[in-house]
Chains A and B, each alone.
Chain A
Amino acid sequence: MLDLEHEPEVYVDEFLSSFFDETEKIVVFEENFCLQYSLEKPRADYFKLKRFLTTALRNFREIDDKFIAGLLLKLQKDVYSLFDYFAKLQSATQVPDIIYQQKFLSSLKPYIAIQDEIVTTKASRDLYEMKLKQLDEQIKVLSVQSQNEEKLKEIKVLKGKYADAVHYFALARDRTTELGILLTEYEGAFHSIFVERFNTLKKNYFARLTDAINVKAYHLDKLLWDRAERNKRIVDFLSSANIEGNYDTKTFIKYYLRNINVNTSADKEWHNYLKIAMELLD
């Protein structure tokens, strides 16, 4: 029987609160920033349009190596570190079962105590098993020798030790089995609660983080083009390239799509999204 100080939910919640501690702080920080300044939310998904941001930043830096500076540089670093954190979190939370096995269970003191006791009990069991073999050998050897009183007395002592060893061996063996069952009970008792609560939290944090990153990436996109149209080298470059359109990502995508045959493209889903994005981008 499990002897738990609290309900299983308490152990799970305590662990998850600690596991998502950094994520919670980041999400709250970013949400507060967006709320404090009522920052506009984009309609397009900047996780899908990220490569256009990256390409535009790279292209403009090639045209003018001093282009990415000041606020643009600060925001670029901020947005990309958030994208990186998002990817890191995705990877770290991909398989809840692994987190459950490797991190959650090992955070439970009673579970660790059982694991430790199993190790000790198994060692004790193995020791008595070895001792039984030794005593058995010794008794056999003495039994075939001349049976004087002294030898008989010695055999009697060994048999007494053998009986004790059998007793302790049986105790250790039974305890190992009991502990094994208890360990399995622990593993089962928390699993469904853990996975359910973990997935709920994970979904919530990813949704909120996605929104916050999208807002910042949208502002990076706008700032990037605002700075581009103020940069003489970039203006000259775009003008002489006979590009028609506005200083924005929409024009960038339009020219990208012109060079792609969406029907034969390997990544139709993404290219179809770009067509939708053309409508969503203001």
Chain B
Amino acid sequence: MFTEYTEQEVRELVNAVKKPKTQIRAEHIVKDKKVDVNTIDVKSLAKQGSVRRFEENSILFREGDDGTDMYLILQGKVDVLHKDNVVASLEVGDMFGEMSLVDTMPRSATIRVSETLSALVLSRSNFNSVISTEPNIAFRVMQTLSKRIRLMNQTIFMLKNKGEEEATDILEDSDTAEGITDDF
């Protein structure tokens, strides 16, 4: 009794109550999803993670939140928001949130569901386990991170030479626009 909780602990409790339902037996569910398994080894990931469903307009995490999970989109789409502006859109096969698991820094963008989402979710410990046991997935994560660094460099260059507005326009037209943020 008279137990004191830190702000962080209370946030964890509130998040546990608010988070969407997770189904047991993720492996079986993933088999039913029409995901392009060539983009990533979904089966290997599914053994470690769980599939969650998120309704349209729900917020998966916000800028500044602590990062605890990584997401792989199985169905649906999400918007990436930076200071209330949509800076990218991600769809089936895309992953996000992995950088916070790598560098333990807070999220630097907000993720909002734009089309009912079904995502494979990996916690930090499961992510670490996957990375250490599945080289092909580790490589895929490295590819994603590398792509983002390139885009970041490109953004900095454009901002320096052409101004923020033009740079954003160019990046929004890009096929790999998810790289605008350093981590989501």
Show the binding face of A for B, using Cβ within 8 Å: 25-26, 29, 33, 37, 39-40, 71, 74-75, 77-78, 81-82, 85, 218-219, 222-223, 225-226, 229-230, 232, 235, 238-239, 242-248, 251
**Bound-complex Cα distance A77 to B5 (A):** 13
A247 with B22, Cβ < 8 A, contacts A37-B10, A39-B14, A223-B13 known: yes
Stretch from B24-32, B143-151, B156-164 forming part of the interface with A: B24-32
Docked-complex contact B125 and A226, CB < 8 angstroms: no
**Bound-complex Cα distance A29 to B91 (A):** 47
What are 26 inter-chain pairs, A to B, with CB distance below 8 A? A37-B14, A39-B17, A40-B14, A40-B17, A71-B12, A74-B3, A74-B9, A77-B3, A82-B1, A219-B16, A219-B17, A222-B13, A223-B16, A229-B22, A235-B24, A235-B50, A238-B24, A239-B24, A242-B25, A243-B25, A245-B24, A246-B21, A247-B21, A247-B23, A247-B24, A251-B24
Shortest distance in angstroms between A154's beta carbon and chain B's nearest beta carbon?
76
Q: Quick check: is B168 within 8 A (CB to CB) of the other chain?
A: no
Shortest distance in angstroms between A227's beta carbon and chain B's nearest beta carbon?
8
**Bound-complex Cα distance A39 to B9 (A):** 13
Q: B13's contact among A75, A77, A239, by CB below 8 Å, is which?
A: A75
Docked-complex contact B2 and A26, CB < 8 angstroms: yes
Specify which chain B residues have a CB less than 8 angstroms from the CB of A218 in the assembled complex. 17
Q: Which of B1, B15, B24, B129 has the largest count of A CB atoms less than 10 A from its CB? A: B24
Q: Quick check: is B83 within 8 A (CB to CB) of the other chain?
A: no
Q: B23's contact among A25, A26, A71, A245, by CB below 8 Å, is which?
A: A245
**Bound-complex Cα distance A71 to B10 (A):** 10
A222 with B17, Cβ < 8 A, contacts A37-B10, A251-B24 known: yes
Docked-complex contact A229 and B13, CB < 8 angstroms: no
Chain B, residue nearest A240 (CB): B25
Specify which chain A residues have a CB less than 8 angstroms from the CB of B116 in the assembled complex. none
Chain A, residue nearest B124 (CB): A230
Docked-complex contact B24 and A244, CB < 8 angstroms: yes
Chain B, residue nearest A230 (CB): B123
Q: Quick check: is B126 within 8 A (CB to CB) of the other chain?
A: yes
Docked-complex contact A239 and B129, CB < 8 angstroms: no
Q: Quick check: is B48 within 8 A (CB to CB) of the other chain?
A: yes
**Bound-complex Cα distance A50 to B126 (A):** 30
**Bound-complex Cα distance A238 to B125 (A):** 18
Chain A proximity mask over B26-54: 1 for CB below 8 Å, otherwise 0: 11000000000000000000001010000
A223 with B12, Cβ < 8 A, contacts A26-B1, A232-B125 known: yes
Docked-complex contact A246 and B23, CB < 8 angstroms: yes
**Bound-complex Cα distance A243 to B5 (A):** 34
In the complex, besides A225-B16, A239-B27, 13 extra interface pairs with C-beta distance below 8 angstroms are A26-B2, A29-B1, A33-B5, A71-B12, A219-B13, A223-B12, A230-B123, A239-B26, A243-B24, A243-B25, A244-B24, A246-B21, A246-B22
**Bound-complex Cα distance A239 to B22 (A):** 13
Q: Which of A219, A230, A247, A248 has the largest count of B CB atoms less than 10 A from its CB? A: A230
Specify which chain A residues have a CB less than 8 angstroms from the CB of B19 in the assembled complex. 226
